[in-house]
Amino acid sequence: MAPGRNDQISSIGGRAAIRRRRASQAWATLRSGELQIIQATALAKLPWLVHGFSTRTGGKSRLEGLPDGQGVLNLGFTGWDTREDVLANRAKLLSALPAERMKLVTLRQIHSDVVHVLDAFLDGVQRGLPPAHLAAPGGLPPDPPSALSGDAVITRASGWLLGVQTADCVPILMADTKQHAVAAVHAGWRGTLRRIAAKTLGRMQMAFGTRPEDVVTVLGPAIGRCCYEVGPEVAQAYAGQFAQAREWFDGPFDQLATGEEPNPLKWLSMAPPGHDPPPPRVRLDLRAANRWQLLDAGVKASNIISSELCTSCRTDLLFSYRREHARTGRLMAIIGLREK
């Protein structure tokens, strides 16, 4: 054996162990009864901030197929659930954080690049405008039809919890550690294509003077590169928008992105007419695409914390629309500034 080989092996092992330890230190689970809330330690250590990524366990909602008593924490107004149970689940989440006294603001999410500045609406309330779109005190959300339409919300006002709902899409929480401002972002493939994460940072810069280098960003549980199959229309759209897109896809990306015929001799294939094999698909890493956007916008690599939890692989812990279809709930990622 060459001299030093053992050293090399043990040092590689050591580095891997350190990486594993760092990864485990990046996240913590807050438990309250049956509830498990995932928190990023980089945000949890800030005393002026409340945040968390919900999981499915410990709620009141009864999802078909599960034994009675195994309630799930559905936080969105889905067709199969009752409004009472969703409200009870939201109240449970808030009390676990704890943040019962804070007011929850949710959005009617439309896969857009629309970013709302909550402070402007609060100014409106102070001027006596009707707060139809705002949550009532005590954490009760507005009726979905009266909620703001959009996919990101930012604020510098304390006492408000910003929430985005997901069941595969990427929830992104941001905190400006200097100006004490926060953001919650919902980024599916359409929102990511429209650069919702970068645009949210841009709005924070304009509204609050946020500097990207002061911002900690956390990408929560979402469908992973392992499971998120998409078709040629997504590959083509990404190829048209991002020079780096190839890095975020597995599978025949170039073939799908250019729309080239996969097999020029297809007419020779044995499949009978009308029974062509389905077109090839690729798998997209939505978190990698958002991570690149944040880096490109000036966020430090060390300030981008990205969960590796896949909603589709982990339906024991999370909700996945892809995997469970309509019979699934909504996770919620929330962030807010504590009242001074």
Interface residues with Zn ion (CB under 5 A)?
A: 224, 226-227, 310, 312-313
Q: Find the shortest distance in angstroms from Cβ 154 to Zn ion.
A: 30
State the DSSP code for 95.
Answer: H
Give the span between the Cα atoms of 77 and 274, in whole angstroms: 41
As a 3-state breakdown, the chain gives helix, strand, coil percent values, each rounded to 5, of 35, 25, 40
The one-letter code for the residue type at 133 is H
Nearer to Zn ion, 75 or 284 (CB): 284
Nearer to Zn ion, 46 or 227 (CB): 227
* Number of alpha helices (DSSP H) and beta strands (DSSP E) in the chain: 10, 18
Q: Find the shortest distance in angstroms from Cβ 41 to Zn ion.
A: 24
Q: Find the shortest distance in angstroms from Cβ 286 to Zn ion.
A: 12
Name which of 206, 184, 185 is nearest 194 in CA terms.
Answer: 185
Nearer to Zn ion, 173 or 286 (CB): 286
Q: Find the shortest distance in angstroms from Cβ 166 to Zn ion.
A: 15
Asked if 284 and 227 touch (Cβ cutoff 8 Å), the reply is no
Nearer to Zn ion, 225 or 338 (CB): 225
Q: Find the shortest distance in angstroms from Cβ 224 to Zn ion.
A: 4
For the four alpha carbons of 269, 274, 277 and 283, in that order, the dihedral sign comes to positive
Nearer to Zn ion, 166 or 303 (CB): 166
